Amino acid sequence: MHNLSQSLQNQDFRHLQIIAELWGVELEESDTRQALESLVPVLLEPQRLNEMLASLPEEARIALDDLLVNGCKLPWSLFTRRHGEVREMGSGRRDRERPHLNPVSAAEALWYRALVARAFFDSPDGPQEHAYIPVDLQELLPQPAASGGALLGRPAIPVEYAAISLASDRILDHTCTLLAALRLDFSPAAIDSLSNAWQPSGMVNPYPLSAQALEGFLEAAGLLDQNNHPNPETTRYFLEQPRSKALAQLTRAWMHSQSFNELRLLPGLVLEGEWQNDPLKARYAVLDYLSQIPAGKWWSLNAFIDAIHQAHPDFQRPAGDYDSWYIRDQQTGDSLRGFEHWDAVDGALIRFTILGPLRWLGVIELAAPAADTLPGAFRFSPWAEALLNGAPPDGLADEEDTFLISSDARVRVPRLVPRTARYQLARFSEWERESEDAYLYRLTPLSLERARGQGLRVIHLLTLLRRYALAVPPSLSKALERWQDMGSEARLERATILHLKSPEMLQNLRASRAARFLGDPLGPTTVIVRPGAAEKVMAALAELGILGESALEEE
């Protein structure tokens, strides 16, 4: 940073006169350079500086202390949002309006007293304009007393955590479901429908896990290939790991992923244009702020977000830019450009990160005033320290359950059956539904044929069932073996049936031009009508002088 002389060297003579006037100094020089050389040493006199500090309005002293506790430097946009604008005006307007006598803000009061300067300094996002205290002034200014307010936000009050929802590792079960669906080429609509059952019971959460977000986790963990299909080797390794190691793998992958973009997953926003955000920068910032919260202590969610709004609003914005990101409210269509929409975009991103990924991964536990209300508080789970350090946590359940197989070819898979076994079973089966504690599949000729097309044989299925089930019904084993040898031996289908009053009517109909529309007879007066030919058969009967009625329209 610059010293006081460097900070003032580009100011005109009148600006130096204003500074001298506010400090009670009489400038005798008429040359700008000479005036600067005589003024700066006076401003650095400790006694005169203390007198100036004592005369500052309270708001200006607060603004100066804000710089002091932040390393004597803050982005200019952040400083002026906190402490007001410094009006841009040329020398003519300045000399007419004399803003130093009636400053509109604390920042402007400090500016005309030379206690704050502005300049561009390097930052991770490139050169960025900052408000700063000149270095030689820094050495003379007293440090503000510690406020004890380093923590962001406040502890939650009891009413905010009356209803508690503990950490869960259910994301591991959902990854198995989704991997199987992707392996079987489920349609996008069918994949989206899977996530309808992923909202945990017992608490309202505005951000339930979606199939799109879960695919983002799988991609970040390297489990999907370029065609969005499970990578056989990495998927097998992931599913065979103990649950604690698998959860740690997902968490590590998410924490360091550049591709997982929370902003573009945030419900309710429409992002337009070619601009790019940096999800990794934003995620690291939020995790850093969270690291300041005491472990195991319930913390107010809204207070935490409000504190970031005040202290670190630009955590994801390059150079404090709120205008180049084109974002609309999905419901209203309104533009969300500008700092005034911070809560709807940046604040919502923090909320989503906590209630979404950190919650889904079991890092965060939530609480609410009541079970049917939105979360108002959060705390780190017992798994958090291990997961955030890339290590498997203790306390996750072992996968030791078994298949429950019925003779009607349905297989009930409890949640804690080994995930690799459920994934393999899914390749032989038709998906039926998911409940809180189990998954239901059904073996059908169509599913077996599909598996055979992928090089899987019934002997593989029988080996799987016998390994992971307490018992396999003998009738089902026999049926599977017969299917392997003979294929499907029974077929159920819909048919249109024509009933006539007498055998003669059927004979006459078979002798007419409608004969080609008739299928197999079911008796002397009953016959199957070929698909799509019902109206033609009724027309042929009318030509034979027979008026019939149809029950098809009544269904």
- pLDDT value at position 148? 46
Residue 419 contacts residue 223 (beta carbons within 8 Å): no
Q: What pLDDT, in 10s, does the model give residues 504-519? A: 888 888 888 888 888 8
**Six token digits for residue 476:** 């089902």
User: Tens of pLDDT along 91-131?
Assistant: 999 999 999 999 999 999 999 999 999 999 887 777 889 99
Q: Which residues pair with 414 in a beta bridge?
A: 438
Instruction: Tally helices (H) and strands (E) across the chain.
Output: 27, 16
Show the beta-strand stretches assigned E in 122-207: 128-132, 163-165
CA distance 422 to 433: 13
For residue range 147-181, list pLDDT tens digits in order: 444 678 999 998 899 999 999 999 999 999 999 99
Please spell the DSSP secondary structure of 443-495, one letter per residue.
--HHHHHHHHHTT--HHHHHHHHHHHBS---HHHHHHHHHHHHH---------
Give me the phi and psi of 212, to 5 degrees please. -65, -45
pTM of the prediction? 0.74
User: 177: which 2 tokens?
Assistant: 């479901």
Q: Could you read off the pLDDT of 469-483 as tens digits, one per residue?
A: 989 999 998 988 888
- Ranges of each domain in the chain: 4-138, 158-388, 404-486, 496-554
CATH class for the region spanning 496-554: alpha beta
Q: What is the sign of the dihedral through the CA atoms of 197, 200, 206 and 209? A: negative
Is residue 211 within a helix (H) or strand (E), and if so which, with residue range?
Answer: helix 211-220
Give the type of residue at 369: P
CA distance 259 to 519: 58
- Nearest Cα residue to 283 out of 265, 303, 299: 265
Question: Collapsing DSSP states into helix, strand and coil, what is residue 233?
Answer: helix
Question: Does residue 392 have a pLDDT over 70?
Answer: yes
Mean pLDDT of 29-33: 86
Which pLDDT value is given to residue 146? 53
Please report, for residues 63, 170, 338, 406, the alpha-carbon distance to residue 409 in angstroms, rounded to integers and kept in the order given: 73, 27, 59, 6
* Cα 274 to Cα 18: distance, rounded to the nearest angstrom: 46
